Structure 1
Amino acid sequence: MRRPMNTENATATQNLSRDGSGPLLEVSDLRVYYGQSLIVKDLSFKIFPGQAVCLLGRNGMGKTTTLKALMGLLKDCTGKIAFEGRPINHYPPNWRARAGIGYVPQGREIFPRLTVEENLLVGLEAAPDRERIIPEFVYDLFPILRSFLKRLGGDLSGGQQQQLAIARALVAEPKLLLLDEPTEGIQPSIIIEIEEAISRIQKERGVSVLLVEQYFEFAQSLADYFYLMENGSLIMEGPTDQMDEEKVRAHLSI
């Protein structure tokens, strides 16, 4: 049985953005199936312009499946996904990317036999009307990439590959960035650099962020608002600075 969602701490931050505008992304009653198995169950949430939202939960709870559905990578879905007020359920992943949704998948999925520069140029395919020039702000966020432009992606460390994967999603200057477990397998010093970069993306460039994570402290430091997911459903939500840490940690450690 689905437990009722705890909305005790939910506030007006999820009804209007800071400037009074409506949601950038609105998901209503989303269901996602793998074959006959229902993985994501009646999911509804919103993300507003300039907001950082975290989808928390243990492995196997449906978080990655949710991001793949938002990006159009999974077809067996019902419910409504609206971006900037427009339903996008029937649009393919390349359309969603060009509309302004950037995606950094779990495991990074950079092209190992392409150079760093070539990986970044691939990201520009989501912005075909712009000059094929890598924006300078990407090197400002991740200075190491400028030094490694001619190095093969497969020769980078795990942390450097994660930086490259985020940069590749950013070169098209998306309005919404989907990040799936960006701290997975990354050394602590690089996690700090990635945390700072994501914070700057949101605050300096106004990019909304949907972060899937199970590393509590990382999510808490970055997100304005959180949703806790269990067995494909949302069971708790609220502003991050008002979250019941004890309850959230208990669900993450079960």
Structure 2
Amino acid sequence: MTVTNASPSHEAPTTRPVVPAIEVRGLTMMYGERVVMHDLTFNVARGEVFVLMGGSGSGKSTLLKHLIGLKTPAKGQILFDGADFALGDDVVRKRALRRMGVLYQNGALWSGLTLAENVALPLEEFTDLDADTIAEVVSLKLALVGLRGFEAFYPSAISGGMRKRAALARAIALDPDVLFFDEPSSGLDPISASRLDDLILELKASFGTTIVVVTHDLDSIFRIADRALFLDIEEKTMTALGPPKELRDNPPTPHVHQFLTRSSEGVS
């Protein structure tokens, strides 16, 4: 009897490998002749909360600037959804930027615009929505961050925690695939910081958003991070990557242990 191969209809379906949301390959960051960090290689998986952590001056915010395209790598690659974002043409960069949202450390709201006008800015710039539709989207985004009814308020008229939430509403205005946070709890009281952590977890759970957070806040790191990357200021490279509780309980280096077991008071 002749044995033949099975019909293609009975073959196991092939699956394509899942491309990480962000891939960093051999990244070196420099200011002039000074190396900030070198040989950074890591992936950010889709739908995870990924924390960039390390001591003051370790290059956390500098790395964030590279990830969102504000700085060009001295060496290495940054891939956004499989495409080289840092060296891509204008089409690649604009497509990537359209799918990103950024919450800066101080919120970076325009003081002369109302909260509604601030949130409307990216919608006006990147979409063809009419004014009525934009107003509906703005109200929805403000409601999602607990600011329903504050559309007409100016940033100076609300608290620091509310300004951070308004800035988050602007960051999610375009329903981004990836959200970046630079020290979100900086300057906030514990209750406001905890509320912002809750919003981060809600965005992940409800929308599957990939979230990258720069922070030194231990409470926040242990609460929200699926994985954390440690930047060692003395080694000038990454020395740990994994779930923060595992890194705390089984630290790969003394610096990681010191960072994750310190008192959070007075640390920046």
Range into which the TM-score falls when normalised by the shorter chain: 0.7 to 0.9
Q: Distance in 2 between matches of 1:245 and 1:212?
A: 22
Is 2:229 the counterpart of 1:227?
yes
The alignment's TM-score, normalised by the length of structure 2, stands at 0.79
Q: Distance in 2 between matches of 1:68 and 1:150?
A: 31
Instruction: Give 2:37's match in structure 1, choosing from 40, 50, 57.
Output: 40
Shift of 1:155: 2.6
| Structure-to-structure mapping, 1:61-210, within 5 angstroms | 61-75=58-72, 77-91=74-88, 95-98=95-98, 100-125=99-124, 127-129=126-128, 132-133=134-135, 134=137, 137-144=140-147, 146-210=148-212
Shift of 1:137: 4.9
Change (3 A) 1:225 1:94: same
Q: Distance in 2 between matches of 1:205 and 1:109?
A: 24
What amino acid sits opposite 1:166 in the alignment? L
- Contact kept in structure 2, 1:30 and 1:42, CA below 8 Å: yes
Deviates more, 1:198-207 or 1:34-43: 34-43
What amino acid sits opposite 1:110 in the alignment? L
Change (3 A) 1:125 1:25: farther
Change (3 A) 1:163 1:202: same
Question: Hey, what does 1:4 align to over in structure 2?
Answer: none
Shift of 1:103: 1.2
Deviating above 4 A after TM superposition, structure 1's stretches of 4 or more consecutive aligned residues are: 91-95
Question: Hey, what does 2:258 align to over in structure 1?
Answer: 250
Q: Relative contact order (C-alpha < 8 Å, sep 6+): which is higher?
A: 1
Is 2:235 the counterpart of 1:238?
no
What amino acid sits opposite 1:77 in the alignment? A
- Contact kept in structure 1, 2:116 and 2:138, CA below 8 Å: no
- Contact kept in structure 1, 2:20 and 2:81, CA below 8 Å: yes
The alignment's TM-score, normalised by the length of structure 1, stands at 0.83
5+ residue gaps in structure 2? 1-15
Q: Distance in 2 between matches of 1:191 and 1:102?
A: 19
Change (3 A) 1:119 1:22: same
| Percent of aligned pairs with the same amino acid | 26
Q: Distance in 2 between matches of 1:70 and 1:214?
A: 18
Instruction: Give 2:217's match in structure 1, choosing from 202, 215, 229.
Output: 215
- Contact kept in structure 1, 2:142 and 2:166, CA below 8 Å: no
- Contact kept in structure 2, 1:216 and 1:249, CA below 8 Å: no
- Contact kept in structure 1, 2:101 and 2:176, CA below 8 Å: yes
Change (3 A) 1:27 1:129: farther
Change (3 A) 1:66 1:129: farther
Larger radius of gyration: 2
**What number of residue pairs does the alignment pair up?**
234
Q: Distance in 1 between matches of 2:181 and 2:209?
A: 12
What amino acid sits opposite 1:162 in the alignment? K
